[in-house]
Amino acid sequence: MRRCVGLLMVVTLLLSIGSTANATRTWISGNTGNWSNTANWSGGSLPTSAETAQINNGTCTVDTAQTIGILLMGNASTDVGTLNVNTGANLNIYKSGSAGIIEMIKAGTSAGGSATISVSNGTLRVGATGTANGGTSEMRLVTASTTLGTATINLSGSGVIDADVLSKGNKTNTAATFNATGGTLVIRNMIYRFGKASESAGFNQGSATLEVGSIGTVATINIGNATNPMDYTVGTGGKINLDIASSSSFDKIVQFVDTTATGTDYANINGVTMNINTGTYTPTVGQTFDVWTYSNAGMATPGAFSGSGAPVLPTGWTSQWVDLSGDSVNDTLRLTYTPEPATIALLGLGLMAIRRNKK
């Protein structure tokens, strides 16, 4: 009898663990308050790292460090869901064994709602830093309904948004907007088309800083993909951070362009500050790095691409748009290391000192 009771207790415990792992904690509709207040969540408990947090209607402010599995926002047409990540707070979205996901305007809704995420002086991370994701973690602005939904992301102050993929999602029904008046946008994989099909297919970085991959590591990010090419614009005050580790290992941006006769995609980085971090590596004089190029994904019809403007570079660097595809259209931003004579002299003296010390 005792064995049966013990077995029943074990089975009950396992079932409870399973149900908890797949649970969804819903923000009490219409509430305005802090994430850490358990009274604002269904069941009176905060969402855990194994659970889904759903904010359909109301305003939730992340006020402490929190980790959850998935974030869903928006449901019915009357819903207005808002999430704020403020000073000193961070929200990490990572579900063990699978990708972290944010869905604004939740897929499968019967009508489009409104969802807004604002990050100011806090950190929103989709995917655990230093942890291998079970898939590609993504901030996804999406709706499966036929009624228009509206999703907005605001980045300001010293806020940080860190994601493998920042995507628009459904290109027909959702009006998606990214507003950046400051902060840092860390992208490790792809920026994927914002706006409805009837809207501009571009992405305006605003005055935020784009970090290609994490700081101090080499990465390649795609702007768009083969089926959804897009424009890219950096606003006044915007910056781009690039890391160079060696002659063959450096940050790259690959922009996918329209392959139709009527389409011309562009990268507008005129006057943009481009920060270059070489760490312990010193390029040779005249060495070049092709850091921004376009791709038509091997399609037969080449796409049209227009690289616009010169970035503001650190001392010792120059840039130019060059034609690598041979179609008389400049398609690649090439950086060249051209240190000033004084810098070269200092490097020479350093080498001489090293040789003397060896002797």
DSSP state string for 102-123: EEES-TT-SS--EEEEEEESSE
Using alpha carbons, select from 19, 41, 45, 18 the residue that is nearest to residue 31. Answer: 41
Residues 6+ apart with CB under 8 A from 303: 229, 256, 257, 258, 259, 263, 265, 294, 296
Residue 274, SS3 per DSSP: strand
- The highest-confidence range among 142-146, 190-194, 234-238, by mean pLDDT, is 234-238
Q: Does the structure show a pLDDT above 90 at 102?
A: no
Residue in this structure with the two tokens 């792809």, named with its chain if needed: 190
Higher pLDDT, 172 or 66: 66
Q: Give percent of the chain above pLDDT 90.
A: 37
Please compute the mean of the pLDDT values over residues 142-154 and round it to a whole number.
67
- What's the one-letter identity of residue 26? T
**Mean pLDDT across the chain, nearest whole number?**
78
Q: Look up residue 49 and give its two tokens.
A: 């790292």
Q: Give percent of the chain above pLDDT 70.
A: 70
Q: Which helix (H) or strand (E) holds 180?
A: strand 174-180
Kindly report whether the global pTM for this prediction surpasses the value 0.85: no
The four Cα atoms 96, 100, 103, 109 give a dihedral, to 10 degrees, of -30
Question: What gap in Å lies between CA 301 and CA 232, rounded to an integer?
Answer: 21
Please report the pLDDT score of residue 308 as a whole number.
77
Q: What tens digit of pLDDT does each residue of 221-245 get?
A: 998 877 777 888 888 899 999 999 9
Residue 43 is given by DSSP the state G
Question: What gap in Å lies between CA 89 and CA 84, rounded to an integer?
Answer: 10
**Would you place residue 53 in the very low, low, confident or very high pLDDT band (cuts 50, 70, 90)?**
very high
